[in-house]
Structure 1
Amino acid sequence: MSSFDFACTIAMGSIIASTLLTKSVSLIEGVFGLLSIYTLQGITAYLRQFKVFKSLVDNNPLLLMDGENILWDNMKKAKVTEDDLKAKLREANVIKISQVKAVIFETTGDIAVLHNDQENMSVDSWILEGVNRS
C-alpha cells in the first residue's frame, strides 16, 4: 500500500463515518464522496503504469544494508532505528551478519531482508532495480 492508497483509505473511512454518524451529511452526499474517491483511486492506479506519474505518487525502495554494511544515512532518511533493523534481521532468521546480502525499506513501509548462508552468492541486479542506494 502506497502513501496515496493509505490516504484514500483514511478518506473513505472518514466519509463513511460522517455519513453514518452526522445529520449534516446526507446519504447521497456520502455515496457521491465515496464514488469520487474510488474514481480518483482507479485513475491513479491506471496512471501508475507510466513512470512519470508513478514517481509523483509512489516512494522508491531504499537500501538500508548493503551486505554487512549498514547505510546509516539511509536509516535516518527512513526513520528506522538500529533496534528496528535488528528485530527485522531476527524475524528473518539471520543468525550471522555475514548472511545478509541486502536489507531494503520497501515502498509499503515494510523491511525486506535478503539473506543466504552462501557467502559467495550475490543478489541479482534485477531484484535491486529501482532501489535507492543513497
Structure 2
Amino acid sequence: MPEWIEIIVRSTILLLVLFMLSKGFGKKKLSQLTVFQFMLMIVIGGIVAMSVINPNIPIAYGFIALAVWFIIPFAAEFIALKSKRFRDVTKGKGTVLIQNGKIMEDNLKKERVTTDDLLSRLRSNNVFTAADVEFAVMEPTGDVNVLPKKENQPVTPKMLGTKVSPSKEPQTVIMDGKMLLEPLANASLNPNWLETELEKMNVSIENVFLGQVDSDGQLTVDLFDDQLSVPTPTEKPLLLATLKKCQADLEMFALETENKETKVLYQKNSERLQQAINKITPYLN
C-alpha cells in the first residue's frame, strides 16, 4: 500500500477514534478546561499526529497510547465526582479576589493576577469600580465571577413587588420553511392552528426561515426575505383592550340606567371585572 494512502486511512481511523474520545470528556468549552485537561488534549493530539505521519509506528501502538491517556483521566474524572478532596487536588478550588468590598492582595499574588488583570475581569462583568463589588472569585477555569453590592445590582420585578408572567421554553415550530410537528405538539398546538396564524400574517410557510411559539402561544416568524416585514403578535394587547372596554361599558350602563337594582348589578360586575383586569395585566403586557 502506498504511504500516502496509508496516511489517509490512518488519519480517518484516528479521527473517528479521537471524536469518540472527545465525547467521553463531556460538553466543556476550551475555556472551561483545567490545566490538566488542556495538557491532556495536547498530548492526545501529539499521539494522533505521530501515529498518522510515521508509518513505521504500528497503528496499534497509537491505539494503546490513546487508551492509556484516556482511561486514566477518565478514571480520575469518575473519582472526582465521588470525592471532593480528590476534586480539589486535580481541578483546584476557587480563589477569592474581593471579599466584602476589599481586594485580597495576597490572593492576587498567589494567582499571579495583576491589578490591570483584575480591573479587566471586572469590566468583562460590567463592573467598572472595584468598590462596587461585594464578592469576586476566580474559578479553577480562570473565569472571574462577580457579585455586585446590593445597591449596584440590577432592579428586578421581585424587588419592585411586581408580578410577571411565568415563561417557558419557546418552541421552534418552523425551520427552513418546514413545519416541525414535535415542538408543535409540545406547545399543545396543532398544524391547523399554525396554518391559521400564518394566514393572519399573510405569510406562506415556504417563506418562513424560522418560526417560534412563546409560552403565551404567540407565533413570531422570520422570513427568508429580509426586506419583508411581519406584523408583531397583537393577541394579548387586543385581549387587554377588550376587557378594559367591557369594564368601561359596564360603568357607563350603571350611570345611564335609572333602575336601582340594575345599577347595582352593573356596578358590582364592573368592580369584579376591574379586579380581574388588575390581576392579569402583568401577564398581558
Range class of TM-score, shorter chain = 0.7 to 0.9
In the alignment, is the contact (CA less than 8 A) between 1:99 and 1:117 conserved in 2? no
Pick the structure with more helix per residue: 2
**What is the CA-CA distance between 1:29 and the residue it aligns to?**
0.9
- Residues 4 and 45 (structure 1), Cα distance of their counterparts in 2 relative to 1, 3 Å cut: same
How do residues 1-134 of structure 1 correspond to structure 2 at under 5 angstroms? 1-49=33-81, 50-118=83-151
In structure 2, the gaps of 5 or more residues are: 1-32, 154-285
In the alignment, is the contact (CA less than 8 A) between 1:67 and 1:98 conserved in 2? no
Q: Find the aligned partners of 2:152 and 2:78 in 1 and give their Cα distance.
A: 41
Root mean square deviation, CA, Å: 2.0
Count of matched residue positions in the alignment of Structure 1 and Structure 2: 120
> Which ranges of 4 or more aligned residues in structure 1 deviate by more than 3 Å?
95-98
Q: Determine the structure 2 residue equivalent to 1:127.
A: none
In the alignment, is the contact (CA less than 8 A) between 1:65 and 1:71 conserved in 2? yes
Q: Find the aligned partners of 2:105 and 2:85 in 1 and give their Cα distance.
A: 29
- Residues 117 and 94 (structure 1), Cα distance of their counterparts in 2 relative to 1, 3 Å cut: farther
- Identity within the alignment, %: 27
Q: Find the aligned partners of 1:90 and 1:104 in 2 and give their Cα distance.
A: 14
Residue by residue over 1:61-94, the C-alpha shift from the partner in whole angstroms, topping out at 9 and shown as x without a partner, is 1001113211111000001111011111111111
Q: Find the aligned partners of 2:35 and 2:128 in 1 and give their Cα distance.
A: 33
**What is the CA-CA distance between 1:18 and the residue it aligns to?**
1.3
Q: Find the aligned partners of 1:20 and 1:117 in 2 and give their Cα distance.
A: 57
- TM-score, normalized by length of structure 2? 0.39
In structure 1, the gaps of 5 or more residues are: 121-134
Larger radius of gyration, structure 1 or 2? 2
- TM-score, normalized by length of structure 1? 0.78
- Residues 96 and 35 (structure 1), Cα distance of their counterparts in 2 relative to 1, 3 Å cut: same
Q: Find the aligned partners of 1:48 and 1:67 in 2 and give their Cα distance.
A: 31
Q: Find the aligned partners of 2:85 and 2:128 in 1 and give their Cα distance.
A: 41
Residue by residue over 1:48-70, the C-alpha shift from the partner in whole angstroms, topping out at 9 and shown as x without a partner, is 02123223312111001113211
In the alignment, is the contact (CA less than 8 A) between 1:58 and 1:107 conserved in 2? yes
Q: Find the aligned partners of 1:80 and 1:104 in 2 and give their Cα distance.
A: 12
Q: Find the aligned partners of 2:110 and 2:140 in 1 and give their Cα distance.
A: 13
Q: Determine the structure 1 residue equivalent to 2:170.
A: none
In the alignment, is the contact (CA less than 8 A) between 2:94 and 2:139 conserved in 1? yes
Q: Find the aligned partners of 2:84 and 2:129 in 1 and give their Cα distance.
A: 38
Structure with more relative contact order (C-alpha pairs < 8 Å, separation 6 or more): 1
